[in-house]
Amino acid sequence: MEEWINQLIPIINEYKEGSTEEPLDGDDVDALCSIIKAKINLHEGNITESEYEKKVDPEFAMCDGDCECSYNVEHLHEADMGHIQYKFCRSCMFEFVANQEQEDDWLDEHDAMERHKDNL
């Protein structure tokens, strides 16, 4: 296993486009691992060429939340609000759900107050 890094160094350097000055950060390592995983799966017949292309060159979309960032569509979470469908990154999805729960709590409280007024 120790010799594996010697096999990986040329791959890492190719991914970094020959730059040896800056090390890969955690996100870069994850992206490179995803590419390697897709290549192995294609080679072993676990995915089609089309599936491979989607994995190494994913489709990106904007988050509908406040962050306004672009993400791989596979990493966006969908929220269906009746006739409108939103796509959120993980952080914005948590915020969206928390806001929805607050609205639901407010509506429940408002309805209870209205019922109390009706009973007076």
pLDDT tens, the chain, 120 aa long: 678 999 998 999 888 887 777 888 888 888 889 889 999 999 999 999 888 887 777 677 777 888 877 776 777 778 877 778 888 888 888 888 888 777 777 766 766 666 666 666
Enclosing domain of residue 100:
61-120
Q: How many domains does the chain have?
A: 2
Please tell me whether residues 51 and 74 are part of one structural domain: no
Please tell me whether residues 17 and 53 are part of one structural domain: yes
- The pLDDT value given to residue 115: 67
Please tell me whether residues 72 and 118 are part of one structural domain: yes
What does the alpha-carbon distance between residue 14 and residue 60 come to, in Å, rounded to a whole number?
24
Please tell me whether residues 69 and 41 are part of one structural domain: no
Please tell me whether residues 42 and 90 are part of one structural domain: no
